[in-house]
Structure 1
Amino acid sequence: MVERLVGDGAGETLKIRLLNLPVELVKRTISHGDAILRELTFVALADHPERGVPDMPNLNLILVHAGLERRLRNGETAIDVDVEVPATAVSESARRVALVEAGDRLAAEGLLLMTPPSPDVVACRRWLVDQIVDQSRGGAPVPWSG
């Protein structure tokens, strides 16, 4: 099955194969990242409203999140899936992870309302971005073993 990360189909795409993808954990990982990025945006706006909304990664995960919701409702816990991503997803996913990890450090210091993520969310996030980057360079898919 192929899930699309972005719906417009414009530009070059890459097919990323995610093996043994833990559906509920990936959903939590995406949700945590989204929440951290939202809070970082609010903090940036509060500190420097004159600068406007900060430049955040352009990686639309709405369709993936919806697909995971469907899978959970169907009782699926781990799946093998091919995900088509725009070529820009390589740099944008790395940028997203860097910002989320910076936010996690602030959360650990008590500087954000968010709590730090659980170790399984951190491991899943690293696995996801590693799969995108490694496979974009011709590497073989590595199943989630978390």
Structure 2
Amino acid sequence: MPLSQQLELDPDPSAARTARAWVIELLARLGRDDLAESAELGVSELVTNALLHAEPPVRLRLRGTRDHPRIEVLDCSSSLPASAGATGGEDQLGNGGRGLDLVALFSRAWGSVVDSTGKLVWFEPTSAEPDGEPVVGHHVVNEDTFATEPEVAGERIAVRLLNFPVQEWAHFRAMYTELRRELRLLAITHPDDYPLATELTELARTVDGHRLHSTGHAKLEAAIEAGQTTADLTYEVPVTSVHDMPRLAGLLREAVRFCHEQNLLASAPLEEHVELVVWYADQFVQQAAGREASPWRGAARSA
């Protein structure tokens, strides 16, 4: 089975045992049996608490890299996790005050990501003996800006996106969101080992920030929701953002290279994603220069 797959867990007493066996098998395939003991302990705690206290479905994934594997438990709750050390009393996850403090004790790093889709709690198992000091968690809260239409000041231009493949874009965006999160977690936990992750994270933050100062996205969201295949869209964007758009295509190509060179366990962006983003960025540049919009004609297919 591919390492990038995930396991959905049923809410029954055997779930933690199933999760342990699944993670141990994947770690063995990575040649990281040295992490088995701490991985078993951590995944048991996180899965048990997610099934008891979070909103289903509960899913389990292995992410990170071959050198720094990361175990993730996802659910649909938006509540931040809390440990006994954070609250000064029994932890909010139950288990008699153990919970995340125990996970933190047997991890080299751990944390959570909360966004509009729910919560992801993660940890990197360690082969080192615990020294009695739990590591401090890294917690990130994302703001979902996909549906916002902000008040925009300053000079703007209209960019038409003809025959825009809305469902393909939705698929790309889901992949891009996960890739950004993956790069950000590597930049947080291992900046010296993965300097490119830090660089790509900063570039993505700059490029994505332009969306907050643009209008026209509501029609795209409505088309995705309605199941439309294509739509003609018009965005109004700040003039200053136009020439940063090609950096998005460059970012994606760099991310593909990073995924392969660093043995990233998440799936790499597909070539058709790259082609779509290149066309998208070109529309901003060519229309800012006064040329007509070019409709999307589909990604090239290899014979």
TM surpasses 0.5:
yes
Q: CA deviation at 1:67?
A: 4.0
Task: Output the CA distance in 1 between the equivalents of 2:284 and 2:162.
Answer: 12
State which of 210, 216, 219 in structure 2 corresponds to 1:59. Answer: 210
- State the TM-score, normalizing by the size of structure 1: 0.77
> Which of the two has greater helix per residue?
1
C-alpha spacing 1:25/1:64, structure 2 compared with 1 (3 Å): farther
Task: Output the CA distance in 2 between the equivalents of 1:74 and 1:131.
Answer: 25
Q: CA deviation at 1:20?
A: 0.6
State which of 242, 245, 260 in structure 2 corresponds to 1:93. Answer: 245
Task: Output the CA distance in 1 between the equivalents of 2:217 and 2:261.
Answer: 29
Q: CA deviation at 1:119?
A: 2.6
Q: CA deviation at 1:63?
A: 7.3
Query: Which residue does 1:103 correspond to in 2?
Result: 255
Task: Output the CA distance in 2 between the equivalents of 1:80 and 1:120.
Answer: 20
> Which of the two has greater strand per residue?
2
Query: Which residue does 1:39 correspond to in 2?
Result: 182
**What per-residue deviation string (whole Å, max 9, x for no partner) do you get for residues 3-50 of structure 1?**
x9861212221110111111101222233333322222222222339x
1:96-135 aligned at under 5 Å gives the runs 96-135=248-287
Structure 1 range deviating more: 115-124 or 104-113: 104-113
**What per-residue deviation string (whole Å, max 9, x for no partner) do you get for residues 101-141 of structure 1?**
21111113353233122232121111101111111111210
Residue 88 of structure 1: SS of its match in structure 2? helix
Residue 210 of structure 2: SS of its match in structure 1? coil
Q: Which has the larger radius of gyration?
A: 2
Task: Output the CA distance in 1 between the equivalents of 2:221 and 2:238.
Answer: 22
Gaps of 5+ in 2: 1-146, 193-197, 299-303
Contact 1:37 1:99 in 2 (8 A): no
- State the TM-score, normalizing by the size of structure 2: 0.41
C-alpha spacing 1:138/1:31, structure 2 compared with 1 (3 Å): farther
Query: Which residue does 1:70 correspond to in 2?
Result: 222
Structure 1 range deviating more: 130-139 or 90-99: 90-99
* Count of paired positions: 141
Matched-pair identity in %: 30
Q: Which amino acid aligns with 2:251?
A: L
Structure with larger RCO (C-alpha < 8 A, sep 6+): 1
